[in-house]
Amino acid sequence: GAGVSQSPSNKVTEKGKDVELRCDPISGHTALYWYRQSLGQGLEFLIYFQGNSAPDKSGLPSDRFSAERTGGSVSTLTIQRTQQEDSAVYLCASSLAAVPSYSGNTIYFGEGSWLTVV
Amino acid sequence: AQKITQTQPGMFVQEKEAVTLDCTYDTSDPSYGLFWYKQPSSGEMIFLIYQGSYDQQNATEGRYSLNFQKARKSANLVISASQLGDSAMYFCAILGTEGGSNYKLTFGKGTLLTVNP
């Protein structure tokens, strides 16, 4: 697709249920990032993929959070046994590669998945 | 650890005037990238401008320019001829490895810009 696509755009779930959030990056982008943004707050890094591997999982807040990426493309962020503090916007981003000095490189974000845990 | 500091929680500017949003960064990496994003109330993160650490010239994209002062570790965003639609939250971010081999994009806390008619 033309941009980073995320689904669902909005999700309301009951506390204790599992949710899956999907990210479809820009075609050809090898780097993929997940961030979380709580209401009125900045962006909190969750996980980064280079291809299918996740060299940095340090941002995942607890073992209830996991993510995978298959075929170097689509990524799924799974939250098990959701809690109210998981309510946030989950943003996915992608780039050609994580090479910061390449002037033509940039990181594009999807529109986010708004998660509300009730 | 790499870090972005945005010292202005909020800024006001009159329509058609220029405004500078401050960003300072801290990193031990010799190679890094600096980004500015705009986040309107609708929530999407819109890429504005990018500056690589080895780029000799300051980046420009339309009404946006990045005042990159490497020695001062400063990457301020200048918006010329402000428009009402520029009202939004603006985030500065750095892409680097934090001395390791894995890249991370670290954001500042943002500056809320309000353009007055």
pLDDT in tens, A7-33: 999 999 999 999 999 999 999 898 899
Q: Is the pLDDT of residue A2 over 80?
A: no
pLDDT at residue number B62: 96
Indicate which of A32, A106, A108, A113 best probes the interface with B, i.e. most B CBs within 10 Å of its own CB.
A106
Q: Percentage of residues in chain A with pLDDT exceeding 70? A: 92
Of all residues in chain A, the one with the smallest CA distance to B51 is A103
Confidence of residue A101 (pLDDT cuts 50, 70, 90): low
B76 touches chain A (CB under 8 A): no
Q: Is the pLDDT of residue A75 over 80?
A: yes
Indicate which of B27, B32, B103, B106 best probes the interface with A, i.e. most A CBs within 10 Å of its own CB.
B103
Rounded to the nearest angstrom, the minimum Cα separation between A80 and chain B is 25
Average pLDDT of the segment spanning B20-47: 92
Provide the terminal-to-terminal Cα distance of chain B, rounded to the nearest Å: 41
Q: Is the pLDDT of residue B89 over 80?
A: yes
| Average pLDDT score, chain A | 90
Confidence of residue A103 (pLDDT cuts 50, 70, 90): low
The answer for residues whose C-beta is within 8 angstroms of residue B47's C-beta and 6 or more apart is A106, A107, A108, A109, B35, B37
Q: Is the pLDDT of residue B100 over 80?
A: no
Confidence of residue A102 (pLDDT cuts 50, 70, 90): low
Q: Is the pLDDT of residue A71 over 90?
A: no
pLDDT at residue number A54: 86
Query: What is the radius of gyration, based on Cα positions, of chain A?
Result: 14
Do the chains contact at A45 and B37, CB–CB below 8 Å?
Answer: no
Stronger pLDDT, A98 or A20, i.e. the higher one: A20
The DSSP-derived string for A61-91 is: -STTEEEEE-TTS-EEEEE-S--GGG-EEEE
B12 touches chain A (CB under 8 A): no
Q: Of the candidates B32, B50, B101, which has its C-beta nearest A106's C-beta?
A: B50
Strongest mean pLDDT among A44-53, B86-95, B100-109: B86-95
Q: Percentage of residues in chain B with pLDDT exceeding 70? A: 97
Residue B65 Cα distances to A67, A70, A76, B104, angstroms: 36, 38, 35, 24
B-chain CB neighbours of A111 within 8 Å are 43-44
Please identify among residues 23-82 of chain A the ones whose CB lies closer than 8 Å to any CB of chain B: 31, 33, 35, 42-43, 45, 48, 50, 55-56
Which of A52-61, A75-84, B37-46, B69-78 comes out lowest in average pLDDT?
A52-61
